[in-house]
Amino acid sequence: MTSKNKRKAIVISSGEEDEAYSPEILNAPHRRDSSAVAAKSTGARQSHNSHSRDTHHVGKAAAQSIQEQLSAWFDTVHDVRGMPWRRRWDPTLSPEAKAQRAYEARHYRPLGKPLLMVWVSEIMLQQTRVDTVIPYYRKWMQEFPTVVALSNSNIEAVNALWKGLGYYSRAARLFEGAKIVVQQFDGKLPDDIAVLQADIPGIGRYSAGAICSIAYGKCVPVLDGNVNRLLSRILALHAPPKSKATTDLLWSGAEAIVKGAKVPGAINQALIELGSTVCTPLDPKCGGCPVRTNCGAYQMKTVLYSFKGTAPSVDIEDQCDLCEPLPGSPISVTMFPMKVEKKVVPKETDLICIISWKRKGDEVPYYLLRKRPKTGLLAGLWDFPALPNLSPSAKKNQEKIARELVHKAFPQIRDRTDNKLVIKSYDGAIGSVLHVFSHVKKTFQVVLIRLESPVDVDLPPDAVPGDWMDDKQANDDEDEPEIIVKKAPKKRKITSIQDDDQDADRLKWVLEPNVSQEK
């Protein structure tokens, strides 16, 4: 080959401290097919499929290199963000101490404050920013310093401590899981990822990997949103993100990187931290990334190759059939991972029925609260009776369906069998509140139904339990079938330790000054 046909490196500045890479560096250990590297220049601009599937596999040498890079970098940033649950790995810990560390670990300095609570911190950090979690974590540690303390609590106290953090099902699963750990595992969180996923509510593959690697020093992988993005760029993987094949490939990459690590928990935390603070979605700080010499996306962005003629082809049997074409040029790190087509978030209207009661002449009314079903949106929380996702016809007849709900709760009003309880007034559309959940936008239309009894009645009437307490879609059209809101499937059935609320226990009257204090 003449010098004219030889490849030449053209360095394009990224505004960071970019390095010039030679072809030898570009042919990184996990890029096993040299033709794939070549194809990533000219060919990748036309079709990202023109490369070998081996491009997306992490070889042993590359894994070792990445481990060294991550370890050195994480040692410098370990304490920067002041996360109270982080603690450096101590190989001298006994099995009992490691089990305690999986929930919370104490150091032996004079203050003796909790430093790490792997399980709880990982659950709190799901869908929530670190700076938001830290104060909640500290309060949690003060209230529930051990898994036994948590298991001896109750769901109302747990929800009260969680108030404002959102996604309350996480708190319920932590509480439920603590009872399982105490009753079935002698108060020690299991150190086996399969057992954690099968037996502890709310723990999936990622959380199990975090617990086992950080608390127990097991070489098992983690893959959250940050690591997903980071590995997609390291592997230059531009494939449908929701595809099982894509997910499996990313898990394989995470597993290869942590395999054989001296301190696997540090490697996994480094991956998470790097994805969170450096390899960000829109503005990655590539110049400060410790693994950029092993990053396929960065190499494609930084160094372009020119050829005389067509880039070398890849054997059809080895060609990657997972990646989709890149979205134009110039190539950018932010092209990875492949973008998810955002779904339109549905909009729903719920009717919130505030039911008050007082004796004639009293000034302060009682309000009826119901405990929501154990599954579904805001499971297990107290709120006002509601009719979710109104049909078009129901929206036009809110007073009718609100009165029907009251009649189901207090049939003596409907049947006129008790002249000491009447609907004093109905106030429609006293207000509305828009609340955006991750999967639905809900508008809460609020109505007020006032009940009243004579002065000789001492206590609020007992409401009759029934399906009106659950999230049943209101429908005022005979041609439209009644729809039950779907409930999320349980991970597994636990009959011996779950709170077994009777329907009557899910209803209570609360005096007006105490409504805002209810947990």
Q: Where are the beta strands (DSSP E) in 282-410?
A: 303-305, 347-359, 366-371, 382-383, 386-387
Per-residue model confidence (pLDDT) at position 80: 62
Please give the residue that has the higher pLDDT: either 69 or 23.
69
Selection from 297, 257, 280, 286 nearest residue 68 by Cα = 257
Backbone angles phi, psi at 32, to 5 degrees: -75, -20
Nearest-angstrom CA–CA distance, 408 and 487: 23
Q: Which two tokens stand for residue 103?
A: 């929930």
How far is 313 from 310, CA to CA, in rounded Å?
8
Residue type present at position 213:
S
Residue 329 has what pLDDT?
73
Q: Which is more confident, 126 or 305?
A: 126
Please determine, for residue 324, whether its predicted confidence score (pLDDT) is greater than 50: yes
156 is catalytic: no
Q: How far apart are the first and last CA of the chain?
A: 77
Q: Which of the pair, 479 or 422, is modelled with greater confidence?
A: 422
Tell me, what's the pLDDT at 117?
61
Instruction: Evaluate whether 451 touches 405 at the Cβ level (below 8 Å).
Output: no
pLDDT at residue 84 in the model: 54
pLDDT of residue 503: 74
Please give the structure tokens belonging to residue 411: 């049939």
Q: What is the pLDDT of residues 93-106, one digit of tens each?
A: 656 555 555 555 33
Nearest alpha carbon to residue 203 among 413, 492, 515: 492
Is residue 160 a contact partner of residue 519, using CB atoms and an 8 Å limit?
A: yes
pLDDT digits (tens, 9 = 90+) for 7-20: 333 232 333 333 33
Q: Write down the pLDDT at residue 317.
A: 76
484 strand-pairing partners: 472
Enter the tokens of residue 321. 């059939």
- Of 19, 68, 122, 363, the catalytic one is 122
Strand partners, 358: 452
CB distance 119 to 132 below 8 Å: no
Q: How far apart (Å, rounded) are the C-alpha atoms in residues 263 and 89? A: 7
Q: Which two tokens stand for residue 190?
A: 């299991």
Three-state SS at 16: coil
Query: Is the omega angle on the peptide bond into residue 481 within 30 degrees of 0, that is, cis?
Result: no
Q: Cβ distance 355 to 427 under 8 Å?
A: no
| Residues in Cβ contact with 476 at an 8 Å cutoff, skipping those fewer than 6 apart | 391, 393, 394, 396, 397, 400, 401
What is the predicted pLDDT for the residue at 114? 29
Answer yes or no: is pLDDT of 195 > 70. Answer: yes
- Bridge partners, residue 351, by sequence: 387, 445
Strand intervals (E) in 111-245: 114-116
Query: Do the strands 382-383 and 114-116 form a parallel or antiparallel pair, or are they unpaired?
Result: unpaired
Which helix (H) or strand (E) covers residue 139, if one does? helix 130-143
Taking the CA atoms of 396, 402, 403 and 404 in sequence, report the sign of the dihedral they define: positive
**What is residue 519's predicted lDDT score, i.e. its pLDDT?**
42
What φ, ψ does residue 43 adopt, rounded to 5°? -65, -35
Hey, what domains does the chain have and what are their CATH numbers? 53-308+318-335 (1.10.340.30), 347-471+505-514 (3.90.79.10)
In this prediction, residues 339-366 reach a mean pLDDT of: 92
In the prediction, which pLDDT does 78 show? 73
| In contact, 258 and 267? CB cutoff 8 Å | yes
- What angle (nearest 5°) sits at the alpha carbon of residue 517, between those of residues 354 and 147? 120
Beta bridge partners of 357: 366, 451
pLDDT tens by residue, 256-279: 999 999 999 999 999 999 999 999
What 8-state DSSP symbol labels residue 178? H
| Rg for the chain, CA atoms, rounded | 29
Q: What backbone phi and psi angles, to 5 degrees, belong to 211?
A: -65, -50
pLDDT tens readout for residues 394-443: 889 999 999 999 999 999 998 887 788 999 999 987 889 999 888 899 99
- How confident is the model at residue 220, as a pLDDT? 97
**Helix H or strand E segment including 451:** strand 441-453
Average pLDDT for the chain: 78
Question: Using CA atoms, how far apart are residues 339 and 499, in angstroms rounded to an integer?
Answer: 42
Distances (CA, A) of 278 to 4, 58, 285, 296: 39, 21, 5, 16
List pLDDT tens digits, range 26-76.
333 344 333 333 344 344 444 454 788 888 999 999 999 999 999 999 988
What integer pLDDT is reported at residue 485 of this predicted model? 33
40 or 506, higher pLDDT: 506
Query: Residue 319 is encoded by which pair of tokens?
Result: 């060609």
